[in-house]
A = this chain, B = another copy of it.
Amino acid sequence: MVKVAILGATGYAALELIKILLNHPEAEITALATRQEGSPHVQAIHPSLHGRLDLTCDNLSAEGICERADVAFCALPHKASMDVIPHLLAGGCKVIDLSADYRLNDPGVYEEWYGEVHTDPTRLGNTVYGLPEIWAERIPDSELVANPGCYTSTSILGLAPLIAGKLISPTEIFIDAKSGVSGAGRSPKLTTLYPECNESVSAYSVGRHRHTPEINQVLSEVGDCTVDVVFTPHLMPMDRGILCTIYTKLTREIGEDEMLDVMRDYYRDKPFVRIVEHLPATKDVTGSNFCDITIRKVGGNAIVFSCTDNLIKGAAGVAVQNFNLVCGFGETMGLLP
């Protein structure tokens, strides 16, 4: 059994992580860390765990975590992650980081989009980006894996085969992303109050959402070209689920069936990407680690539809996928029977 700790244990992604890990045959949760005081029992924070996990959420130091765990899942906000992760690594703990702190290669880009000077810049560019469907072979040897953003995975998985195949123009891509409210986290804010979100839909952070440089970075490497997307997130009146509707220009004449074949080839032997022929609904993937994708041709354009559960494939599920690869377990362990 691998002993695992979860930092930032009070949030929504952490709850999903706990639920997945409780079903994982090779993982044992040994520590829950929070920056809150008072050591609340995890069942008081997450009542759905009643009777399932008997741990308190403690304000643990990196040293305390390293004593108790072999692998740490870091579900902290950005900035808080890079404050603690170097110490976890120094203490011998492997880390799956769910924050944005180690996703970008360039400290300057980080500073531009996050408004913070990166305090661990030498690891940027040297940390594996944990999207196993793209770079599974890079993950096994890693002590630190940067788990992708939820919008990012959903967007990249929909676009990678087309970019890799040079089928679409890399600078005429419009990603219209629609997310459930859990993606905004569990800290009370007016914008995510029930009566503000319910029975309403609206865009936010147009042209400046922080997942944009991440999408561009990964796809540019995938396509060996400069990819520059327009990314527009929207808040939907639902708990969870992301649908990215992606408008692209085809570079050559190609039919829908051929595009679907390109996608199936690209994701051959990738157990969590399902290329489907129908228009997928976010509900089809709720509670699972799947990303369902299809494509439609309208005139000279290809429209990609890609959906995930933002808390699973977009956060906790892919984190466990990365954990499995880091630990040498089967990629689907704990995620599929």
A188 and B186 in contact, given A176-B176, A236-B237 (Cβ under 8 angstroms): no
Task: Check A255 for interface membership: any CB of B closer than 8 A.
Answer: no
Q: Which of B174, B176, B239 contacts A195 (CB 8 A)?
A: B239
Residues from chain B with Cβ under 8 Å of A22 in the complex? 337
Q: Which of B48, B194, B236 contacts A239 (CB 8 A)?
A: B194
Task: Contact check, A181 vs B198: say whether CB atoms are below 8 A apart.
Answer: yes
Size category of the binding interface on chain A: 35 or more
Q: Give Cα A303 to B207, complex, Å.
A: 10
Residues from chain B with Cβ under 8 Å of A186 in the complex? 190, 193, 195
Q: Give Cα A31 to B48, complex, Å.
A: 34
- Within 47-93 of A, Cβ neighbours of B (below 8 Å) are at 47-48, 50-51
Task: Contact check, A230 vs B192: say whether CB atoms are below 8 A apart.
Answer: no
- Residues 293-330 of A, flagged 1 when their CB comes within 8 A of B and 0 if not, give 00011110101010100000000000000000000000
Min Cβ gap A308→B in Å is 12
Q: Give Cα A3 to B198, complex, Å.
A: 34
Task: Contact check, B206 vs A279: say whether CB atoms are below 8 A apart.
Answer: yes
A12 and B195 in contact, given A47-B281, A279-B202 (Cβ under 8 angstroms): yes
A202 and B232 in contact, given A51-B274, A189-B188, A337-B22 (Cβ under 8 angstroms): no
Task: Contact check, A285 vs B182: say whether CB atoms are below 8 A apart.
Answer: no
Closest to A181 in B: B194
Min Cβ gap A288→B in Å is 7
Task: Check A253 for interface membership: any CB of B closer than 8 A.
Answer: no
Task: Check A228 for interface membership: any CB of B closer than 8 A.
Answer: yes
Task: Contact check, A197 vs B200: say whether CB atoms are below 8 A apart.
Answer: no
Q: Give Cα A196 to B193, complex, Å.
A: 9
Task: Check A109 for interface membership: any CB of B closer than 8 A.
Answer: no
Task: Contact check, B337 vs A23: say whether CB atoms are below 8 A apart.
Answer: yes
Of A128-136, A146-154, A156-164, A241-249, the stretch lying at the interface with chain B is A241-249
Min Cβ gap A271→B in Å is 8
Closest to A279 in B: B203
Task: Check A292 for interface membership: any CB of B closer than 8 A.
Answer: yes
Residues from chain B with Cβ under 8 Å of A200 in the complex? 238, 241, 281-283, 286
Task: Check A280 for interface membership: any CB of B closer than 8 A.
Answer: yes
Task: Check A258 for interface membership: any CB of B closer than 8 A.
Answer: no
Task: Check A199 for interface membership: any CB of B closer than 8 A.
Answer: yes
Q: Which of B178, B230, B232, B301 contacts A201 (CB 8 A)?
A: B178
Q: Give Cα A176 to B299, complex, Å.
A: 16
- Within 87-109 of A, Cβ neighbours of B (below 8 Å) are at none
Min Cβ gap A315→B in Å is 13
Q: A interface vs B, CB < 8 Å?
A: 12, 22-23, 47-48, 50-51, 174, 176, 178, 180-182, 186, 188-190, 192-204, 206-207, 228, 230, 232, 234, 236-241, 243, 245, 247, 274, 276, 278-288, 290, 292, 296-299, 301, 303, 305, 307, 337
The 5 A-B residue pairs with the shortest CB-CB distance in the complex, in nearest-first order: A200-B283, A202-B281, A207-B298, A188-B188, A181-B194
